[in-house]
Homo-oligomer: A and B are copies of this chain.
Amino acid sequence: MSAQDDFLGAKDDFISQWGALGSSWGISRTMAQVHALLMISPEPISTDQSMEELQISRGNAHTNLKELVGWGLVKIVVKKGERKEFFEAEKDVWKIFTIVLRERKRREIDPAIELLSDCSERSKNVKSAEGKAFHKQMNELEDFAVFASQVGETISKLKYGPAIKYANKFLGLLPKDKS
């Protein structure tokens, strides 16, 4: 068993399990696998190469590659002399994180704020106990969502260095675990 074989096995495991993890996020299994493949490929790869490596159909490869481009996680590169499009993933982990953070804020937190603010508004004059409890809960959820949104916004604008610096300061502020 050579080191190269170890690596090839690890590569397959990474792609397959990254896919499984992706689906516990909101991302489809295949999209996560395509992303995994691109993330560990030193060279940009084509639709046909993805099809080959992941054993998926052209339509599937195409859709998922374009969706990743839509997320901003992957860029299209055109090699000179070639007609095909090639795809290259962002590899910097902090950049990947901020992209995903921004995208999920936009897709999940922002609509939640809208919902909560609307529900709060529509229940502000209600008299029943049930209604008052509802109004209060809507307000509290909205306040939290707005707060989370601001924190997300702030973090996504940071560079890696400052982020780590703040985080370490923050982590250090807590009492040490005395185990």
A interface, CB within 8 angstroms of B: 3-4, 6-7, 9-11, 13-14, 17-18, 21, 23-26, 39-42, 91, 93-94, 97, 107-108, 111-112, 115-116, 118-119, 122-123, 125-131, 133-135, 137-138, 140-141, 143-144, 147, 150-151, 154, 157-158, 164, 166-167, 170-171, 173-174
Complex: A49 Cα to B161 Cα, angstroms: 52
Q: A10-B119, A119-B14, A171-B150 are in contact. Are A108 and B144 (CB under 8 A)?
A: no
A53 to chain B, nearest CB (A): 12
Complex: A97 Cα to B11 Cα, angstroms: 35
Complex: A107 Cα to B20 Cα, angstroms: 12
A178 to chain B, nearest CB (A): 14
A116 cross-chain contacts in B, Cβ below 8 A: 14
Complex: A143 Cα to B116 Cα, angstroms: 36
Smallest Cβ-Cβ distance to A120: which chain B residue: B10
Q: Report whether A40 and B134 are in contact in the complex, using a CB–CB cutoff of 8 Å.
A: yes
- Among B126, B144, B173, contact of A7 (Cβ-Cβ < 8 Å): B126
A50 to chain B, nearest CB (A): 15
Q: Report whether A166 and B173 are in contact in the complex, using a CB–CB cutoff of 8 Å.
A: yes
Could you list some 30 contacts between A and B, CB below 8 A? Answer: A3-B127, A3-B131, A4-B126, A4-B131, A6-B125, A6-B126, A7-B122, A7-B123, A7-B128, A7-B130, A7-B131, A9-B122, A10-B122, A10-B123, A11-B134, A17-B115, A21-B108, A23-B26, A24-B108, A25-B26, A26-B26, A40-B130, A42-B130, A93-B141, A94-B144, A97-B144, A147-B164, A151-B170, A154-B171, A166-B170
Q: Report whether A151 and B166 are in contact in the complex, using a CB–CB cutoff of 8 Å.
A: no
Q: Report whether B14 and A129 are in contact in the complex, using a CB–CB cutoff of 8 Å.
A: no
Complex: A108 Cα to B27 Cα, angstroms: 13
